[in-house]
Amino acid sequence: MGITSGRGLHVNAPLSELAIRYKPEGMIADQLAPIVLTSKQADAYTIYERAEAYAVEDDARGAGAPVNRITRSADSATFYCKNYALGDSIPQEDIENADAGWLLTERQGRIEHIADKLALGWEKRVGLQMTSGTNVGSYSAVSSAWTDYTTGNSDPIGDINTTIQGIQDLTGMRPNRMVMGDKAWRNFREHGDVIDRIYGNDGTAPGARLVTQNNAAALFELDTVLIGGAYYNANDEGQSASLTQIWDDNVVLYYAPNAPRKDKASAMYTFRWTPKNLPLQAQNYFSRANYAEMIDLMMYQDEKITAPDLMWLIEAVTSAS
């Protein structure tokens, strides 16, 4: 890992691989939408007409008659993979006074810290899109807050099933994923109706009747239930911290395939441009101006809601009246 004079274009492979392997806790953006690897920073993607997909065609063919040819209409939209990058530096004085092995450990620590910051920005971008009623196809509020689970007034199971059926009746596709903000999840998993529906009266001790992401997914016949627990500091630099949950008490139901497909609709896709075939690229180089080793980490991507009708937001499930 040589330190070069001047900027250069060298990508540090070991530091890049470290950043790729490193995964901060509580963040789920990388699991939400299939990642489409693209050879271009900007391009177009195809949008097929839903009405045409469900049209019943005249497929009866008489003897000797030609096959009825059908057409497929399509529109397009574009993406642009922005460059998200942050950097840190290690003063040369620290390097020259360091004990053996310190520099490698310090580089790793700086890369992990920068990766945290990039991941937090990614999480916030995706969270803001998915929890905004103007971005999703439909959104609704619950009639009674899920905190009201002792009186039986609230109905989280009914609220979620209504949303699942709403997406399916509108699009013909059943949602297969659910994202819950941690505030929503805390109350959902303690709700008596949820616990009873999952466990019934099987004699399990009350303390062992735990609602997990797996049995919650099974309850609604979903592939995945994700819990968004990431926080960010909502105050400006220099002020005391005001930690705010990105996903708050919102719940989102949506459909996304397990892998990207050109002919398969997805509520959201992540378009990622990977120069040098690395999703995260680390550079380290010597800066004469700063008399320090500079460490930069960057990625190119665009997170887009590509089929809003396949996404339904249930807003503020713990703060409803």
Task: Give me the pLDDT at residue 208, please.
Answer: 77
Per-residue pLDDT of the chain (321 residues; tens, 9 = 90+): 444 444 455 677 777 777 776 666 778 998 999 999 999 999 998 877 776 676 787 778 888 888 888 777 778 899 999 999 999 999 999 999 988 888 888 888 899 899 999 999 999 999 999 999 999 999 999 999 999 876 668 999 999 999 999 999 999 999 999 999 999 999 999 998 999 899 987 666 666 789 999 999 999 999 999 999 999 998 888 888 899 999 999 999 999 998 888 778 899 999 999 987 788 888 888 999 999 999 999 999 999 999 999 999 999 999 876
3-state secondary structure of 16: helix
Token reading at 92: 């040369």
What does the DSSP assignment read for 279-315?
SSEEEEEEETTTTEEEEEEEEEEEEEE--GGGEEEEE
Beta carbons of 57 and 68 less than 8 angstroms apart: yes
Residues with Cβ within 8 Å of residue 212, at least 6 apart in sequence: none
∠239-244-248 over CA atoms, to 5°?
165
- Are the C-beta atoms of residues 304 and 269 closer than 8 Å to each other? yes
- The domain locations on the chain are 13-49+76-315
Residue-level pLDDT at 24: 65
Q: What is the per-residue pLDDT for 262?
A: 74
Taking the C-alpha atoms of residue 321 and residue 186, their distance in angstroms, rounded to an integer, is 18
Q: Tell which phi-psi region holds residue 152, choosing left (phi > 0), alpha (psi between -120 and 50) or beta.
A: left
Q: Does domain 13-49+76-315 have CATH number 3.40.50.1110?
A: no
Write down the pLDDT at residue 205.
65
